[in-house]
Amino acid sequence: MVDLKAQLNEAQLSAVNTVNGPVLVIAGAGSGKTRVIEYRVLRLVEEGVDPSSILLLTFTREAARRMLERAAGHDRRCSRVEGGTFHSFGYRLLRRYYASAGLPENFSVMDEDDAGEAIKRCMDRSVQDKRFPKKDTVRSIISACVNRSLSVEEVLAGDYRHFLPFSGEISSLRSRYCDFKRKNGYVDYDDILVLMKALLEKEEVRASFISSYRFVMVDEFQDTNRLQGEITRLLAEPHGNVMVVGDDAQSIYGFRGASHRNIMKFSEVYRGCKIVKLQDNYRSTQPILDLANSVLRSMENKYDKSLVSAHSRDGERPAFFMFGDAYDEACWLASRLEEALAAGQNPGEQAVLFRSAYVSIPLQAELGRRRVAFRVFGGMKFYEAAHIKDAVCLFRLAHNPSDELAWRRVLKMNDGVGEKTSERVISEIRHCRGGMRVYASILRSGKFKGGLKSALEKLAFFLEKASSEPDLALRFDMILEYYAPFFRDRFDDWHLRNGDFTALREIVAHSASADELLASLAIDPPQQCEERGGIVLSTIHSAKGLEWDNVYLIGMQDGVFPSGFSFEKPEEMEEEQRLFYVAITRARGRLILTFHRENARNLLTPFNRVSRFLELPGVADSIDKEDVFSWNSAGRRGRGAYPGCGGEGEALDDRMFDFLDGEV
């Protein structure tokens, strides 16, 4: 038998040795929760529990496989434990009890593409309004209704306010979609959980199925939605032997339907449950944990805990840097990363984290300029996004009207214009020679009729106006004005993509010429490294569960982090604070936070004040005050310009330092 005392700390051992009854394991970041599950499975099997009566539910098959393989490495009988995701377990249940679930024996599970196509088929022909959400957006709305137990109107009010006028039509479409699935023997991803819960509430299923599982364990319980919380309760109801493991402070997927309430109300649902807190951290140095603990203490809905480094009480204190604008920030950071690589540091241990993907765009551009390879987690490569390609093609066309590929993309942005129509227009201008006025005159000629004529006249007016504007930033503003109606029609989530244009405008404004800008986009776009060792650029959401030696948390502006969308929503603001905690605890040895002003008058505004999270009690005391610099045009105050960047530092408004001086 394995000597558990030699393998586990006191809190871990307490959790593993609690065999019967409900147990809530609050596992702080980096506290070794995987070992708890591994050795709890082992302990149960060694105590004589039939492995097939143990059920382990996780959020990925890989997580379940890894934990059970580790347990089986100690005792091969552990490989007989049933483990998997809620959905894979639910699918097996539906296959066994399909008739009780009201399904045909040969029912099919639709993937996301199939579900989208089914919704498209169910769309009423009367829905002709161009503003009506597209099939994939409708699918997301319906899924949110299921996972968050909300009505269509409630989901729209929270996430898609511009679609509220269509609340009734979307609700009707949802009903037709459900009828379509029922008549054709389909279930979608969300149906698996709904039907699983319904089955577990049936007496015959409870008697023959649930009773076969005497011990239930759930990993990452803070990420469960309401349905999964209810399913856990139903599985444990006959015996009460349920252990859930999670960290309330890492519940950050509310937008996917995760319910923070599940883990917070566990002790109310399971009266007399044992609560074990894992607070020994095996990842970060204590100075980093001191900052994390300050954030923890300021949370309202939480389990009290304080992380203590199991490895080192020493280490660098987190540092905070201030910059003039996003490009000063990107230039400094790219230089710092280059220095780290030149010193032989592993590029895979350098991570740049951010709240939203658009925050990283200036850094992507700067790394691309310097040919520093990187990987992006949590979003596609910036220049591959369809709306960015559209805007760039409009810029190309305004600069060079003989760009045939740009013509094709721009023309097809118009309704009813496909390959044949665009080719007809291009054939008229293909051999055109002269300035933009010549091209515009062809677009205005009487050769085109109806809606196409009107669209081409608007395009001609835009191209003439934009091509004559020498200021690249103002030209880009004209492009956005022209593109706005197309943008809103093509993308239901246009309000979430707007930040990308802000970042792209900065790239345009920092370009010496249109030729230089377009050449940089075509020749030296940011290069993502496919190897595991590349520098990592990641959204914080995509970084959860990962860790690096050096972490740079950028974009610490209020309205960026926390997101401005959370300002009037207390629950979402609390989740943003938990997201901040997650970001901090990704760092093992070094953590640097950065902020840029983006204000030519060097004044704080509501749009670029320092993140309110840096004003939380104790946070300022956990940040090294000596490492706060002003940075303008990438010059370090009092220490000269940084390699690769020009300019000199300047003084900052005293209010920038208020949070550091405790005057908040």
**At residue 480, does pLDDT exceed 80?**
yes
Q: What is the tens place of the pLDDT at every residue in 80-97?
A: 988 888 988 898 899 899
The predicted structure's pLDDT at residue 640 = 36
Cα distance between residue 33 and residue 38, in whole Å: 9
Which phi and psi angles does 7 have, rounded to 5°? -105, -20
Question: Which of 157, 184, 211 is where one domain is finished?
Answer: 184
85 three-state secondary structure: strand
Cα distance between residue 546 and residue 645, in whole Å: 32
Q: At 126, is the pLDDT very low, low, confident or very high (cuts 50, 70, 90)?
A: low
- Token code pair at residue 619: 């946070």
Greatest mean pLDDT range, 117-131, 288-302, 621-635: 288-302
The predicted structure's pLDDT at residue 440 = 77
Q: Apex CA 83: angle with CA 80 and CA 86, to 5°? A: 155
Q: At 592, is the pLDDT very low, low, confident or very high (cuts 50, 70, 90)?
A: very high
Element (H, E) at 109: strand 108-109
Of the two residues 203 and 352, the one the predictor is more confident about is 352
CA distances in angstroms from 305 to 289, 295, 518, 552, listed in the order given? 12, 11, 52, 25
Across the range 562-570, mean pLDDT stands at: 89
Across the range 541-556, mean pLDDT stands at: 93
Residue 389 sits in the same domain as residue 475: yes
User: Which value, in Å, is the radius of gyration of the alpha carbons in the chain?
Assistant: 28
Q: What is the CATH number of the domain that holds 576?
A: 3.40.50.300
Cα distance between residue 517 and residue 397, in whole Å: 13
Provide the mean pLDDT of the chain: 84
**At residue 258, does pLDDT exceed 70?**
yes
CA distances in angstroms from 395 to 321, 462, 488, listed in the order given? 34, 11, 19
Greatest mean pLDDT range, 176-180, 377-381, 631-635: 176-180
Determine if the peptide bond prior to 318 is cis (ω within 30°). Answer: no
The predicted structure's pLDDT at residue 127 = 66
Hey, which bits of 299-341 come out as E strands?
Answer: 308-309, 319-323
Q: Which amino acid is at 415?
A: D
- % residues pLDDT > 70 (the chain): 87
Cα distance between residue 416 and residue 405, in whole Å: 18
- Residue 298 belongs to some domain of the structure: no
Cα distance between residue 341 and residue 335, in whole Å: 10
Residue 223 sits in the same domain as residue 162: no
Contact 18, 244 (CB under 8 A): no
Residue 412 sits in the same domain as residue 505: yes
From 478, 477, 443, select the one nearest 460 (Cα to Cα). Answer: 443
Cα distance between residue 121 and residue 134, in whole Å: 12
Q: At 292, is the pLDDT very low, low, confident or very high (cuts 50, 70, 90)?
A: very high
Cα distance between residue 486 and residue 462, in whole Å: 14
Domains held by the chain: number: 4
Any idea which of 20-24, 75-79, 298-302 has the lowest mean pLDDT?
75-79
Residue 87 sits in the same domain as residue 214: yes
Residue 390 sits in the same domain as residue 372: no
- 373 CB contacts (<8 Å, ≥6 apart)? 347, 367, 527, 528, 529, 531, 534, 535
Residue-number span of the structural domain to which 140 is assigned: 108-184
Q: What is the 3-state secondary structure (H, E, C) of 558-617?
A: CECCCEHHHCCCHHHHHHHHHHHHHHHCCEEEEEEEEEECCCCCCCCCCCCCECHHHHCC
Residue 365 sits in the same domain as residue 397: no
- Residue 484 belongs to some domain of the structure: yes
The predicted structure's pLDDT at residue 380 = 55
Residue 204 sits in the same domain as residue 88: yes
Q: At 20, is the pLDDT very low, low, confident or very high (cuts 50, 70, 90)?
A: very high
CA distances in angstroms from 223 to 169, 244, 300, 328, listed in the order given? 31, 11, 18, 37
**At residue 542, does pLDDT exceed 60?**
yes
Residue 589 sits in the same domain as residue 617: yes
Q: At 382, is the pLDDT very low, low, confident or very high (cuts 50, 70, 90)?
A: low
- Residue 394 belongs to some domain of the structure: yes
- Residue 90 belongs to some domain of the structure: yes
From 621, 39, 584, select the one nearest 278 (Cα to Cα). Answer: 39
- Token code pair at residue 439: 């091209």
Residue 197 sits in the same domain as residue 236: yes
- Residue 371 belongs to some domain of the structure: yes
Of the two residues 531 and 317, the one the predictor is more confident about is 317
Element (H, E) at 631: strand 631-632
- Residue 546 belongs to some domain of the structure: yes
Residue 260 sits in the same domain as residue 361: no
Any idea which of 16-20, 218-222, 350-354, 394-398 has the lowest mean pLDDT?
394-398
Greatest mean pLDDT range, 55-64, 293-302, 631-640: 293-302
Contact 529, 535 (CB under 8 A): yes
Of the two residues 508 and 232, the one the predictor is more confident about is 232
